[in-house]
Copies of this chain bind each other. A is one copy, B any other.
Amino acid sequence: MKHGIRQLFIPGPTNVPDRVRRAMNVPMEDQRSPDLPDLTLGLFRDLKRAFRNDGGRVFMFPSSGTGSWEAAIQNTLAPGDRVLMARFGQFSHLWVEMAQRLGLDVTAIDVEWGKGVPLDAYEQAIGADHGHEIRAVFVTHNETATGVTSDIAGVRKLLDAHSHPALLFVDGVSSIASIDFRQDEWGVDLAVAGSQKGFMLPAGLSFLSVSEKALAASRDNRPKLPRSYFLFADQIAMNDQGYFPYTPPTQFFHGLRASLDMLFEEGLDNVFARHHRLAEGIRRGVRGLGLDLVAAGPEWYSDTVSAIFVPEGVDANQVLKIAYERYATSFGGGLARLNGRVFRIGHLGDLNEVMCLGALAAAEISLADAGAKITPGAGVAAAHDWYRKANAGADARLSNG
């Protein structure tokens, strides 16, 4: 299908709003120009607002989110350091793998895919660690592979309950700026995000938001992993003046200015509420089609991505292929053990109700073409009912307006 607008319903990269695309389409400029700090210092300040990180600071690395995963580890930990992690999807799996490659002593708790961070098991490990050998606790806030959101506040609570000094690392790549996230309140020490999700930018820039405690850890006397590209100290020395230790992708800064403006104009809480409202419509549509989510229960539902089991006998990859080639729609595939059994609808970023109805319509017709017995229109209808109800307040305003 070469005609018309393609629908992008993967959990990132997300649709870049026209306003952001326009803002990024700038001539190159001198990365050492006297004007640059006018732009960049405001970005650093407003990124902190987006992470709800009052005390610490946010780094911007020219890298994918994976780079910030590594930056977080390299700057605060040393080979052999013991860390507590959980594995409940492809991305939490990959973070464990990185920690192992970098030489950490990883205690990785395996959890059924469809659930999130295992508070009980974490509590047990933390409670047993009287010597405070666990240097860091890692949590994937939103597991993109399964559409599962974890309880970060709960992890903080158990650390506090045990007065455990471990650093709290959070992968918020597919949650931050879309799902409620409160770095200060939850005592998160290192939070990773990427440009290409809730920040509605192309891929290529990652954000690492760090607490004062993490900064202190990066400065203390303990030896750390060898590092240079991602070294905090170099960034800090330059960032404080609005500059960077190596050539930064300035076009992203203009785009980020626009995307932060959009987020704050809407209001972060409204952004989160919109993501919830849209996601719930998708979930009701999925149920309307008689399909099941990978997420094991409502407490795990992700407001940014839904992983959906196809009916028995249907090949999820065929659904993806049909959606892509025949209906101009990109859905996410089932990763690793979910391959062939699951397709994913990303519903985050610059999105509205009618786009979600379009996603469901594309899912319906692609499933049908792939041999699933579904009722045409049933998904759209279920979402339609929800969106009308969820917008009832708006209705009232409009009819009086």
Contact = CB atoms under 8 A, between A and B. Distances in A.
A365 B388 contact: yes
A358 interface: yes
Contact of A5 (B26, B324, B355, B364): B355
B225 A226 contact: yes
Central interface residue in A18, A101, A369, by most chain B CB within 10 Å: A369
A314 interface: no
User: How many copies of this chain does the complex contain?
Assistant: 4
Contacts of A57: none
Nearest to A34: B324
Contacts of A12: 247
A374 to B, nearest CB: 10
Contacts of A16: 27-28
A23 interface: yes
A3 B278 CA distance: 12
A352 B377 contact: no
A398 interface: yes
A362 B357 CA distance: 8
Interface stretch (A64-72, A107-115, A123-131): A64-72
Contacts of A250: 13, 202-203
A196 interface: yes
A263 B79 CA distance: 44
Nearest to A375: B381
Contact of A274 (B3, B15, B22): B3
A309 B18 CA distance: 34
A368 interface: yes
Contacts of A8: 27-30
Contacts of A61: 63
Contacts of A328: 352-355
Contacts of A333: 32
Contacts of A351: 3-4
A395 interface: yes
A381 B340 CA distance: 26
A369 B354 contact: no
A354 B358 contact: yes
A204 interface: yes
A221 B26 CA distance: 47
Contacts of A7: 354
B361 A388 contact: no
Interface string A221-249: 00001111101000000000000011111
B5 A229 contact: no
A350 B3 contact: yes
B381 A203 contact: no
B361 A384 contact: yes
Nearest to A352: B4
Contacts of A252: 204
Nearest to A202: B251
Given A16-B28, A66-B245, 10 more contacts: A30-B324, A31-B203, A202-B250, A204-B252, A225-B226, A326-B395, A355-B358, A361-B384, A368-B384, A377-B377
22 contacts: A1-B352, A2-B266, A3-B274, A5-B15, A7-B354, A13-B247, A22-B26, A30-B332, A63-B67, A66-B228, A101-B227, A101-B231, A194-B247, A204-B251, A226-B226, A354-B361, A365-B384, A369-B388, A376-B380, A376-B381, A377-B381, A380-B381
